[in-house]
Structure 1
Amino acid sequence: MRPADRLHRALFHLAGILVAVLFLAPIAFLVLAAFRPAAEAVNPPLPPWPKAGPSLDSFARLDGFGEGIWHYAGNSLIVALATAALTILVSVLAGYGFSRYRFPLKSLVFVMILATIMVPFQSILTPLFLVLAKLGLQNTLVGLVLIYVTLQLPFSVFMMRNAFDAIPKEIEEAARIDGVRGLKLLLRVLTPLALPGIVSVGLFAFLNAWNEFLAALVFLTDERNYTLPVMMMVVRQGRFGSIDWGALQAGVTLMMVPCLLLFLSLQRFYIRGLTAGAVK
């Protein structure tokens, strides 16, 4: 390797390390601050590392807020999993229909679905609140799931349409010759081939539902139904104006764990799903 090539590679790796440190530093700051003892956690976490050694006091105090951290984590998990499952179900069927079937005004309907992405969510909060109230779903986790699914579907349908477009039609024709038709064709032949796109859609839906704050704050009024982001707002407000920084950092640390584990375990499908149908 020539000296110029070695220098170029060294600079490339150095730049990568600097970018990684830039992104990982806030996460390390957050995690270290979460393990500060009670005596150090009352002030903003500077420096973040515990002077008296790591402690779980912040996590214990966090569990004392309201119904407890695990109750709110359960609410968030139920909402996120239900949102991901329902989004996958509807988007797979819709994406397959837009990719393989012909029907009147097909292009217009698809453009109208995509156009809803341009509508700011904040502008339709009041109509959505009234609709949920009429249906008796206001202040329920079911109503919150339906709102999240509605917000996820335009992008998810677009993703699944591209994923099915990337699958050669010859595979589908060969399956039809072998007698596989209808829903069985979709489930047994096309769905495994479109798995990267399905995983990407489910991952997006789960992460957005897990971290979403505004809709949960507006549509949920019963403290028992709060999700983790709303619960963290209560912790952030504190009592009598005081903020328990240790409990706040501990809560954010716990919120990160499922997202990191899920993304790291599914990242290979996620990357393939985003590039599916890109050339076409």
Structure 2
Amino acid sequence: MTTTQHHQGRIRYHRLVFHITAVFVAGLFLAPLVWVILASFRSPEESSRPPLPPWPTQGFSLSSYERLEQFGQSMLHCAGNSLFVAVGTTMLTIVIALLAGYGFSRYRFPFKNLVFLLILSTMMVPFQSILAPLFLLLSKMGLQNTLTGLVFIYTTLQLPFSVFMMRNAFDSVPKAIEEAARMDGIKGIRMLVQVMGPLVMPAVVTVGLFAFLNAWNEFLAALVLLTDQSKFTLPVMMTAVRSGRYGSVDWGAVQAGVTLMMIPCMILFLILQRSYIRGLTAGAVK
């Protein structure tokens, strides 16, 4: 066997080990998802017991999803509340982070580094420690027990990381591009939208995806700030489903709710994963 053949054999061996390891790791991550999805299709008799084993033994059934729709406020209504909060948080976070990141990257003003450091330092403050002041603040503003107030809270929590991401993304764009655009007569907001915006789009997608997923899945703030059942988001509703009636847990409805909550997150990530990865490597890792 020649040296070249031996080298090619080692490459094939390493590729085989890599693919086997990758399949095994992927299986570990996918197993809980498959377990939840299968458990949501169990029959009513099987749903009254803990989902072990998860696969239906009496045939697939949609009864768990039907019971979930009839539980308190309908699943569709709570999904609409969660969608409003998640989309509102995403849009508001992107707009503020885009403007703030561009300002910190391209403009000079007094105490710029100190202000940026103070913004980042808020990431170290536990959210639970400021929940009571936020509750009182929203009450004074008349936004307590409203989805709009929840949007403002989630946006505030997302901004430190988002501003950090956008500033690094703008820093990675050569200033020569901006100078060339100015020579063509492009200034102000047109510079941000037409020239700089497309160049930092992966970071914008990353910021938006983080904001949407965190707002979609957040539970504690929604539980504390919302008291009207008609305004509950999906995580709060799932807590009520998990508590059950008279101490009994409808495991089928729980798994059906978890499955429905996963769908938007999985779809968004699969669609935007290319831009998401580029945004992380070009922004936060810089």
Question: Which residue pairs with 1:214 in the alignment?
Answer: 220
| Alignment partners' CA distance in 1, 2:96 and 2:285 | 25
1:140 maps onto 2:143 in alignment: no
Seen in structure 2, the aligned counterparts of structure 1 residues 277 and 74 have a Cα distance that, compared at 3 Å, is closer
Question: Which residue pairs with 2:201 in the alignment?
Answer: 195
Question: Which residue pairs with 2:174 in the alignment?
Answer: 168
Structure 1 vs Structure 2 CA RMSD: 1.0
1:7 maps onto 2:13 in alignment: yes
Question: Which residue pairs with 2:246 in the alignment?
Answer: 240
| Alignment partners' CA distance in 1, 2:58 and 2:138 | 50
Seen in structure 2, the aligned counterparts of structure 1 residues 118 and 278 have a Cα distance that, compared at 3 Å, is closer
| Alignment partners' CA distance in 2, 1:212 and 1:279 | 26
The offset of 1:277, in angstroms, is: 4.3
Question: Which residue pairs with 1:250 in the alignment?
Answer: 256
**Worse-matched range after superposition: 227-236 or 1-10:** 1-10
How many pairs align?
280
Question: Which residue pairs with 1:25 in the alignment?
Answer: 31
Letter in 1 for 2:27: V
Question: Which residue pairs with 1:117 in the alignment?
Answer: 123
Moved over 4 A (4+): 277-280
1:66 maps onto 2:72 in alignment: yes
Q: How does 1:47-86 map to 2 (within 5 A)?
A: 47-86=53-92
Q: How does 1:73-112 map to 2 (within 5 A)?
A: 73-112=79-118
* TM-score normalised to structure 2 length: 0.96
| Alignment partners' CA distance in 2, 1:81 and 1:279 | 26
The offset of 1:6, in angstroms, is: 2.4
Letter in 2 for 1:60: E
| Alignment partners' CA distance in 2, 1:91 and 1:237 | 38
The superposition leaves residues 97-148 of structure 1 with CA deviations (integer Å, 9 ceiling, x where unpaired) of 0000000000000000000000000000110000001111010000000000
Q: SS of 1:55's equivalent?
A: coil
Q: SS of 1:200's equivalent?
A: helix
Identity %: 66
Seen in structure 2, the aligned counterparts of structure 1 residues 132 and 279 have a Cα distance that, compared at 3 Å, is closer
Seen in structure 2, the aligned counterparts of structure 1 residues 279 and 145 have a Cα distance that, compared at 3 Å, is closer
| Alignment partners' CA distance in 2, 1:108 and 1:21 | 46
* TM-score normalised to structure 1 length: 0.98
1:227 maps onto 2:224 in alignment: no
The offset of 1:166, in angstroms, is: 0.8
Long gaps (5+) in structure 1: none
